Amino acid sequence: MELYSLTIHELQDLLKKGEVSAREIAESVFARVDAVEEKVHSYIRLMKDEALAQAAQADADIKKGEIKPLTGIPVALKDIVCTKGVPTTCGSRILHNFVPPYNATVVEKLSAAGAVFVGKANMDEFAMGSSTETSYFGPTRNPWDLERIPGGSSGGSASAVAADECIASIGSDTGGSIRQPAALCGVVGMKPTYGRVSRFGLIAFASSLDQIGPFTKDVEDCAIMMNALAGYDPKESTSVQADVPDYRQFLGRDIKGWKIGIPKEYFVEGIDPEVAAAVEKAMSVVKACGGEAIDISLPHTQYCLAVYYIIAPAEASSNLARYDGVKYGYRAQGVRDLAEMYKKTRQEGFGAEVKRRIMIGTYALSAGYYDAYYGKASQVRALIRRDFDEAFKRCDVILTPTTPTPAFKLGEKTDDPLQMYLSDIFTISTNLAGIPGMSVPCGFSKAGLPLGVQFLANHFEEGKLLQIASVYEKAAAIEKRRPAL
């Protein structure tokens, strides 16, 4: 067994027993990167020198008997979280040369827990996309089928875990950008409650929806990562001052008598029959573990995508106004005056999808349209949240498919933005309501593509997600396949 193929908890056991060193783990992961990165392209930038120094530090700590929850564990960071002294591009030309002067809080927290950083993972430009095809640095490919997309926007973070180019990774999720690629790459991904994990140093896309979370190889690792990431941050005014439990305590606790909400609106036409069958099978496994399925309704589900495609672009158009070629990043050359410099810098610095969303957002916020678009969307958002409030009075968790289809082919949806947006149809509501959600592998299609089941819980109930996911993972015993790379 190669070290790169192991989980956090397996590697930690080996480190504790002194059977391997952090350096050996790091070298194993970088050897794997050397072998497969050309095919998959998970990374925008590798951090090998930094990683080997961190691994040496980890080995020194272990010698002193200090072993922290992530000591010596190679972790990839989506290139949207700021790393001090290491370029952070957000997948965009406009930030291609940006070197942050500080670390994101999650980077500080992972460092404090002993993590070793493998590199900065590829992503859709400014996290706008569902396929990692909008990256200025070229697309990432799905390790299970190189003709297909890994999902997005955190596609590189998902593919890096699936292809064993790291042990765990960090992504961000604004409308499904952790859970959708996790499902399509066959790994575990969690979007925590809004406010659970600090966004300080996360390059902003849609500030009322963005949340950072982990990708891991199994549910236990997800709990370990959440322990490292969660918590209040005085530097982040929307992070919440609430107690953070030890998430490992929820692993394997039984779910007897739990009510599992099945929203009828998520099982409609358009969903791939293989996905539907796999999710139904997951439901029967959960039932066999003592869960009781109940029918629920989330009546405003059909409006989620429309609400999202007003709110997210509106917030993005405002957040991305800062990229003007003055303080950092790309600046257009050969301009006559300041106004022209702004326009050319933004025109040349942003890709098509980012411009499209800036345009939608600017229009939706422009004089005379604010009430009709942003105002209306914010009202419907309240109704969507109310649907979940009502549902969680009747059930413990909600079970749905993560995505309507398995991974699609590169180029299949790039010319039709609306079709691309529809691939997030089951994940968007979670961000609008601010609740936590998690995608767990639930099998493979006949063509060998991974499929995911999604669990949703009420605000700050990540523990419940880990509980049901760990019980499900054990009972379902989904075959441990590895992509043939």
Partner 1 sequence: MKLSTADVDYVAKLARLDVTDAEKEKFTAQLNDILGYIDKLNELDTTGVAPMTHAIAVTNAFREDRVVESLGTQAAVANAPDPRGEFFRVPKVIE
Query: Quick check: 253 binds partner 1 (CB under 8 A)?
Result: no
Cα–Cα dist 113/97, whole Å = 29
78 is catalytic: yes
Task: Please identify, using beta-carbon distances, which residue of 92 and 193 lies nearer to partner 1.
Answer: 193
Burial 245-261 (b: 16+ CB within 10 A, else e): bebbebbeeebeebbbb
Task: Please identify, using beta-carbon distances, which residue of 208 and 297 lies nearer to partner 1.
Answer: 208
Within residues 128-167, the interface with partner 1 by CB under 8 A covers none
**Which one is catalytic: 21, 78, 154, 413?**
78
177 is catalytic: yes
**Which one is catalytic: 111, 153, 154, 172?**
153
Stretch that binds partner 1, among 17-25, 126-134, 283-291, 299-307 (CB under 8 A): 299-307
Within residues 336-355, the interface with partner 1 by CB under 8 A covers 336-344, 346-347, 350, 352, 355
Query: Quick check: 268 binds partner 1 (CB under 8 A)?
Result: no
Stretch that binds partner 1, among 104-112, 125-133, 175-183, 317-325 (CB under 8 A): 317-325
Task: Please identify, using beta-carbon distances, which residue of 26 and 341 lies nearer to partner 1.
Answer: 341
Q: Is there a cis peptide before residue 153, judged by omega within 30 degrees of 0?
A: yes
Min dist CB 325 to partner 1, Å, is 6
153 is catalytic: yes
- Close Cβ partners of 335 (under 8 Å, ≥ 6 residues apart): 341, 344
Within residues 432-461, the interface with partner 1 by CB under 8 A covers 432-434, 459
Min dist CB 363 to partner 1, Å, is 5
Task: Tell which one of 322, 366, 389, 411 touches partner 1 (CB under 8 A).
Answer: 366
Within residues 213-242, the interface with partner 1 by CB under 8 A covers 234, 237-238, 240
Cα–Cα dist 364/361, whole Å = 5
Query: Quick check: 200 binds partner 1 (CB under 8 A)?
Result: no
Query: Quick check: 329 binds partner 1 (CB under 8 A)?
Result: yes
Min dist CB 159 to partner 1, Å, is 28
**Which one is catalytic: 21, 28, 42, 177?**
177
* Nearest in space to 181 (alpha carbons), one of 150, 212, 210: 150
Within residues 72-111, the interface with partner 1 by CB under 8 A covers 97-99, 101-102
One-letter amino acid at 132 equals T
Query: Quick check: 411 binds partner 1 (CB under 8 A)?
Result: no
Task: Tell which one of 305, 404, 405, 412 touches partner 1 (CB under 8 A).
Answer: 305
Catalytic residue IDs? 78, 153, 177
